[in-house]
Structure 1
Amino acid sequence: MVAGLACGAALAALTAVPAQAHEPEHRAPHWELKDSGTPDVRFRGLAAVSRKVAWVSGTGGTVLRTTDGGASWRNVSPDGAGDLQFRDIEAFDARRAVVLAIGEGEASRVYRTDDGGLTWTESFRNTDARAFYDCMTFFDSRHGLAMSDPVDGRFRILSTSDGGRSWTVLPDAGMPPALTGEAGFAASGQCLVSAGSRDVWLATGGGARARVLHSVDRGLTWTATDMPLPAGDPARGVFALAFRDRTHGLAVGGDYRPDQTSPQAAAHSSDGGRTWRSAAAPPPAYRSGVAWLPYSRTAALAVGPTGTDLTTDGGRTWRTVDPGSYDTVDCTADLGCWAAGERGRVARLES
């Protein structure tokens, strides 16, 4: 109840009209940068556990963890991982986390820690030169999936039932054929997301049409839906998804090239991803990350290199609320909303 009231107050402040001159001045919720001490690292992986605990992962095989709300960060990078790019991290608490390295062939790897990053165990190394893993998701602390760009014409799915300690490639008989040039975007760790115990969604781009694939059986069978986001180029498509339950979803993306416009860069669904509608007022530019605000049925944040946008109507309209550059965003039940991106930028939503 306390967390719910706090979120309600923060949301009210985000959407309130400016105070009159004679009224007390209150600063609306805003991103407050937390010094990570890593200005040369770009963080595209983010796992928010609470307002105090968060993990980030990025270039140079870097993994950081905070347990004091970002006041200090501990470098808990796996040994010998300096050449890897950690684009996704999923954490269950302050001690247990799973991190994904992306790339062709053996560059795609998964590591797990059970002691807050003091030690890591490599639990998967891709040996298929055709595979390129992009992101992962967990239904609970044991069951999770990771996805690769198409191999033999279909997206490849890895499955774990022991919290990421071991992985198995799922059969692809239930996976629709990929479009020519279609792939996932390892931009924010949000191209594969789940809600509930069995539903999972996969975002694509690069093909003639951007698509979202949905599975109701933990990745065994999938259905594909065309998206109204920019497509037809390797730089365009759906970059991030967020579902607040099995029904209500958001999609953001566009064209990641800074010299290209991104009209219709957001869409929303109210039927589990079977159909999608373009945002009537989308973000003004490419967005790579999106997250629902806790305890709200209609409010969410989207982030990208040119700013943060807020929706308060379930993704129908968006407005920019911060100009800072972030690649990914994640929120927790105690209003622990975090964002991360280039030049070691990590921030927490403060009110």
Structure 2
Amino acid sequence: MRRVVTAGVCGAAFAAVLTAPAQADGPAAHGPAGGKPAHWEPRATGTDARFRGLSAVSRNTAWLAGSKGTVLRTADGGAHWRNVSPPGAAGLEFRDVEAFDGRRAVVLAIGEGEASRILRTEDGGATWTESFRNTDAKAFYDCMTFLDRRHGLAMSDPVDGKFRILSTGDGGRSWKVLPSAGMPAALEGEAGFAAGGQCLVGSGPRDVWLATGGAARARVLHSADRGRTWTATDSPLPAGDPARGVFALAFRDRTHGIAVGGDYRADQASPKAAAVSGDGGRTWTAATTPPPAYRSGVTWLPRSRTSALAVGPTGTDLTTDGGRTWRTLDTGSYDTVDCAPDLACWASGEKGRVARLER
């Protein structure tokens, strides 16, 4: 069950648009056109798939990956979505997509044994090539991330007591399992959450972080050498139950990070749903005013040193002080969130829900 849930405006100005009260005067409240305050604007997808995989390329281009083997792509800001699902993938559960542009993307399917697969397209989804299929019945892949157009990693829940890491150096065309000697032992019950494609994230050419839960302590693991050696640090997020832990991470550089999560069960509180790090994940401090409930996705606003968005089934929250305090902006349900370099932010989730942030 845990696995099933399993441009032109600077970042500071963008955050001001988000936080301005609707009744205030001026462009900060009403956006450039003097209309509504910044808000999520739904984009109809024509499907009821649950999209836990999202990659924002730009204001116009985004990729979605979800249940029932569904992959969608838009090139016009979400006005139209093209179904580019790989043939024969209807039985797969896609939980992550990493897109380089409107034509090249890599998708990850989760599950035990051969259900975990990685596919790649170079023609906008017209054709797909399977570049990895898991053959170890003990492995269960959750997330992947790319550090640049060539180097990427994917992670599996522990196999023989340690998290397993896949590596690619050719843009996802081929993958190899990295040696486990540099990976610390997993805690009893520890695993990753395939909840929004952000349990494995990177920043810069070599730094990668891995989020965990399900054990007595919710941890964040860090590698400074593209996944060959790792160190583990405890976080203050809820732990001690298979439904609790760190669900998503975001690092705006190799030093400043945000962790979100909690307890994904709707009837359970998550009083400490976010934490921050200012030393590359070596230590974590609980947010003084965290999001009010479990959150499964988080992203920094581009060109901002202090602002980020977090999303979950009960809403969207904004921080403007680097993750120390959060304010709820929206109560709609989203599983993951991503922002593009041109400041376009997208969110996606259950029942085909997709939205772009308008301001």
Give the TM-score of the pair, scaled to structure 1. 0.97
User: Pairwise mapping of residues 236-255 of structure 1 onto structure 2 (< 5 A)?
Assistant: 236-255=244-263
User: Pairwise mapping of residues 117-266 of structure 1 onto structure 2 (< 5 A)?
Assistant: 117-266=125-274
Which of 29, 42, 46 is the aligned partner of 1:33? Answer: 42
Query: 5+ residue gaps in structure 1?
Result: none
Moved over 6 A (4+): 21-25
Kindly provide the amino acid, as one letter, of the partner of residue 95 in structure 1: R
Shift of 1:19: 3.4
**Partner SS state of residue 5, structure 1:** coil
**Partner of 1:310 in structure 2?**
318
**Partner of 1:271 in structure 2?**
279
Shift of 1:100: 0.2
Q: 2: distance between equivalents of 1:54 and 1:249?
A: 24
Alignment of 1:12 onto 2:16? yes
Cα RMSD, aligned residues only = 1.4
Aligned partners of 2:214 and 2:243 also within 8 Å: yes
Which of 284, 290, 311 is the aligned partner of 2:292? Answer: 284
Q: 1: distance between equivalents of 2:24 and 2:219?
A: 46
Aligned partners of 2:69 and 2:86 also within 8 Å: yes
Q: 1:213-253 CA distances to partner (integer Å, 9 max, x unpaired)? A: 00000000000000100000000000000000000000000
Q: 1: distance between equivalents of 2:259 and 2:281?
A: 10
Q: 1:325-351 CA distances to partner (integer Å, 9 max, x unpaired)? A: 000000011111000000000000101
Q: 2: distance between equivalents of 1:337 and 1:296?
A: 13
Aligned partners of 1:180 and 1:207 also within 8 Å: yes
Which of 100, 110, 113 is the aligned partner of 1:92? Answer: 100
Aligned partners of 1:4 and 1:295 also within 8 Å: no
Kindly provide the amino acid, as one letter, of the partner of residue 324 in structure 1: G
Q: 1: distance between equivalents of 2:16 and 2:270?
A: 29
Q: 1: distance between equivalents of 2:77 and 2:232?
A: 39
Aligned residue pair count: 348
**Partner of 2:4 in structure 1?**
none
**Partner of 1:66 in structure 2?**
74
**Partner of 2:341 in structure 1?**
333
Q: 2: distance between equivalents of 1:260 and 1:349?
A: 29
Kindly provide the amino acid, as one letter, of the partner of residue 285 in structure 1: A
Q: 2: distance between equivalents of 1:6 and 1:264?
A: 30
Q: 1:5-30 CA distances to partner (integer Å, 9 max, x unpaired)? A: 26444322222245358998642211
Aligned partners of 2:22 and 2:36 also within 8 Å: no
**Partner SS state of residue 43, structure 1:** coil
Q: 1:99-157 CA distances to partner (integer Å, 9 max, x unpaired)? A: 00000000000000000000000000000000000000001011100000000000000
Give the TM-score of the pair, scaled to structure 2. 0.95
**Partner SS state of residue 9, structure 2:** helix
Identity of aligned residues (%): 76
